[in-house]
Amino acid sequence: MSERKVLCEECRDRVEFNVVEKEIVDTLKGENYTYMGKEAYCSKCGAEVYVDDVIDFNLEKLYDAYRKENDIISLEKVLEISDFYTDEQMTIVKGWRKGIFDRYCEGDVPSKEHSDDLKQIYELLLVEQIRKKFTRRVIKCRK
Ligand SMILES: [Zn+2]
């Protein structure tokens, strides 16, 4: 049980609540997606209550399911790219609208076209990293 309290519409009061894991089916862009999400229930009357964290958690899971199903690059990979590229650079390199890469880094789901661009960049970064590792190893061997 949580120490925090939220509004229960049934009890018309701020109540403590229990969070349970649940398989949820949600619709996004006209398609159904199933994911392991969470639901919160009033600990007094058992009615479902709305908790910000739970809603955010489910939204993230829904987006994950959507990305997997539609072959869209994962948020983790987008964040890895952001270690190397800024929003400004993506605007210059890819001609994207300003701020759009930042939004992807905050969890917005990229379009298929942008996702493919990002995947390509990710692959190149990966190759670059492997090459660096390899070069370092070669240098070590020569000593
Ligand atoms: Zn209640």
Residue 51 maps to which CATH number? 3.10.20
Q: How far apart are CA 58 and CA 54, in angstroms?
A: 6
Answer whether 15's CB lies under 8 Å from 43's CB.
Answer: yes
Domain count along the chain: 2
* Residues in CB range of 122: below 8 A, 6 or more apart: 73, 77, 80, 81
Same domain, 96 and 51: no
User: Ligand 1 centroid to 69 CA: how many Å?
Assistant: 36
What is the dihedral sign for C-alpha 29, 32, 37, 43? positive
User: Ligand 1 centroid to 46 CA: how many Å?
Assistant: 6
User: Ligand 1 centroid to 136 CA: how many Å?
Assistant: 62
Statement: the pTM of the whole predicted model exceeds 0.85? no
Same domain, 60 and 83: no
pLDDT tens, the chain, 143 aa long: 556 899 999 999 999 999 999 999 999 989 999 999 999 999 999 999 999 999 999 999 999 999 999 999 999 999 999 999 999 999 998 999 999 999 999 999 999 999 999 999 999 998 888 888 777 776 666 65
Instruction: Answer with the one of 70, 96, 121 that is the final residue of a domain.
Output: 70
Q: How far apart are CA 114 and CA 75, in angstroms?
A: 13
Same domain, 60 and 11: yes
The pLDDT score that the predictor gives to residue 129 is 84
Residue type, 135: T
Answer whether 137's CB lies under 8 Å from 91's CB.
Answer: no
Residue located via tokens 């899971």? 61
Instruction: Answer with the one of 42, 70, 98 that is the final residue of a domain.
Output: 70
User: Ligand 1 centroid to 45 CA: how many Å?
Assistant: 4
User: Ligand 1 centroid to 5 CA: how many Å?
Assistant: 11
The pLDDT score that the predictor gives to residue 24 is 96
The pLDDT score that the predictor gives to residue 25 is 96
User: Ligand 1 centroid to 57 CA: how many Å?
Assistant: 22
- Residue at 83 is within a domain: yes
User: Ligand 1 centroid to 14 CA: how many Å?
Assistant: 8
User: Ligand 1 centroid to 28 CA: how many Å?
Assistant: 29
The pLDDT score that the predictor gives to residue 67 is 94
The pLDDT score that the predictor gives to residue 139 is 66
Containing domain of residue 27, as a range? 6-70
- Residue at 1 is within a domain: no
